[in-house]
Amino acid sequence: MSPILVGPLAVAGISTVLALIISILDKVLNNYGEMEISINKGEKVLKVKGGSPLLATLAAENIFVPSACGGRGTCGACKCKVVTDVGPHLPTELPFMSPADIAANVRLSCQVKVRQNLEIELPRELFSIRKYRTHVEKIRDVTYDIKEVLFRLDEGEIEFTAGQYVQLVVPPYGDIKESVQRAYSMSSVPSDRKHVELLIRLVPGGIATTYVHKVLKEGDPVELVGPFGEFHVHDTPATMICVAGGSGMAPFKSMFYHMFETGAFPLKEVWYFFGARTTRDMFYLDELRALEARWPRFHFVPALSEPKPEENWTGQTGLITDVLDRHLQNVIPKPEAGWEGYLCGSPGMINACTNVMKKHGIVENKIYYDKFA
């Protein structure tokens, strides 16, 4: 053999032998068998394969502890409380730990290996927030500028509370070079864990809405991140005064159908004011009227601000704030528990409705809305 080849071959050979031994050792030694991770005192119990860092083990179970560095121990973001004694903090953890953290058994989940049954504590919202791969199942025009888009989850199920929102991941398209995320309230009911429905109104010049209206087709893959948001039905006997306009319909559709389906919050009366300019902007009219007929606690008040004579509109007319004002004044009974305001729409509409509601004695901390609009 040429002497020139001997050297490289020998080095390669030695490296290969070492790599082989390491791989075999790794297979043999890192086999810890099945471990149990109990999260928040048994609220969730995972059966996992031991031997990997906690961060990666949880991620494999679809629990995403935030981590900026990807588990290299340099960002300190993946802190989590490990109740089980897994030994003293490592030198790699200490730079990120305050004395309070150390006393509370807070660890970096990327540095703690799963080599025994563990009991850990995580913020609850981490359980359900994740990225969902979906495909568009159906796109339907509900008005000339609002599309109802139904996404089917490729795998897994989504657990959310009616009223929450997801972020739609818009990939780069056309002149848009960067991926953006935009929040949309889910209009589907939580009981359908395989689908997410969004109502998306075309905003002229809007990156995400233009994408949905002009680019997105049925069958396209889309990523959704969520669920997020604190907008939900509060468990009190107070009457819900809901006001929406345009695609602000979405969270209410989810809430109402959820309450109707499950009989949740049986003491709550629901009043729903939906404002549009003309019948062209009005949608779900028949569905909601049908719901109203079958569900005695639900009162639907659609209103047009600029009805044309030829539309033969027989419902309420006027700005939604005026309609709301009139109803609060004369129509809606005030139970002992009082009223709660639920709003979804443009910031201008939310401000105006808040003022009307305050005028009628609804205190500000009982008026609920998501600020992401």
Partner 1 sequence: MIDAPSVGLVSLFLASILTSNVLLANFLGTCSFISISKDFRSSMGLGIAVTMVIGITSAVCWAVLYFVIKPLGIEYLSFIIFIIVIAGVVQMLEMIIDRFSPSLYMALGIFLPLITVNCAVLGVILFMQIRKYNFPQAVVFGFGSGAGWWLAIMLLASIRKKLDANTAVPAGLKGTGITLITIGFMAMAFVGFSGMIAVQ
Number of Cβ atoms within 10 Å of the Cβ of 28 = 8
11 near partner 1, judged by CB under 8 A: yes
Stretch that binds partner 1, among 7-15, 129-137, 310-318, 337-345 (CB under 8 A): 7-15
Closest to partner 1 by CB, 8 vs 266, is 8
Token digits of residue 46 = 């995972």
Choose, by CB under 8 A, the member of 21, 68, 290, 337 that binds partner 1.
21
Stretch that binds partner 1, among 88-96, 141-149, 224-232, 277-285 (CB under 8 A): 88-96
Closest to partner 1 by CB, 25 vs 267, is 25
Choose, by CB under 8 A, the member of 2, 34, 47, 91 that binds partner 1.
91
Token digits of residue 173 = 């398209």
Choose, by CB under 8 A, the member of 88, 99, 263, 333 that binds partner 1.
88
Closest to partner 1 by CB, 51 vs 318, is 51
Q: Report the DSSP pairing between strands 298-304 and 316-317.
A: parallel
Residue 265 CA: distances (Å) to CA of 32, 113, 256, 269, 298: 47, 44, 11, 9, 12
Token digits of residue 336 = 């002992």
Distance CA 78, CA 272 (A): 43
Choose, by CB under 8 A, the member of 60, 90, 264, 331 that binds partner 1.
90
Number of Cβ atoms within 10 Å of the Cβ of 53 = 18
For residue 47, the minimal CB distance to partner 1 (Å) is 21
Q: How many residues does the chain have?
A: 373
- Per-residue contact flags (x/-) with partner 1 for residues 103 to 142, judged by CB under 8 A: ----------x-x---------------------------
Closest to partner 1 by CB, 10 vs 69, is 10
19 near partner 1, judged by CB under 8 A: yes
- Is it true that the peptide bond before 237 is cis, omega within 30 degrees of 0? no
Distance CA 198, CA 250 (A): 7
Q: Report the DSSP pairing between strands 221-228 and 165-170.
A: antiparallel
Closest to partner 1 by CB, 15 vs 191, is 15
4 near partner 1, judged by CB under 8 A: no
For residue 113, the minimal CB distance to partner 1 (Å) is 8
For residue 63, the minimal CB distance to partner 1 (Å) is 24
Distance CA 217, CA 137 (A): 9
16 near partner 1, judged by CB under 8 A: no
DSSP assignment string, 148-205 = EEEEEESSS-----TT-EEEEEEPPBTTB-S-EEEEEEB-S-TT-TTEEEEEEEPPTT
Stretch that binds partner 1, among 20-28, 40-48, 57-65, 76-84 (CB under 8 A): 20-28
Which H helix or E strand runs over 367? strand 367-368
Q: How many residues touch partner 1 (CB under 8 A)?
A: 22
Token digits of residue 346 = 């443009």
Residue 79 CA: distances (Å) to CA of 58, 318, 359: 13, 53, 46
69 near partner 1, judged by CB under 8 A: no
84 near partner 1, judged by CB under 8 A: no
92 near partner 1, judged by CB under 8 A: yes
Q: State the SS3 of 35-96.
A: EEEEECCCCEEEEEECCCEHHHHHHHCCCCCCCCCCCCCCCCCCEEEECCCCCCCCCCCHHH
30 near partner 1, judged by CB under 8 A: yes
Q: Could you say which residues in the range 279-338 bind partner 1, by CB under 8 A? A: none
Sites of contact with partner 1 (CB under 8 A): 3, 6-7, 10-11, 14-15, 18-19, 21-22, 25-26, 29-30, 87-88, 90-92, 113, 115
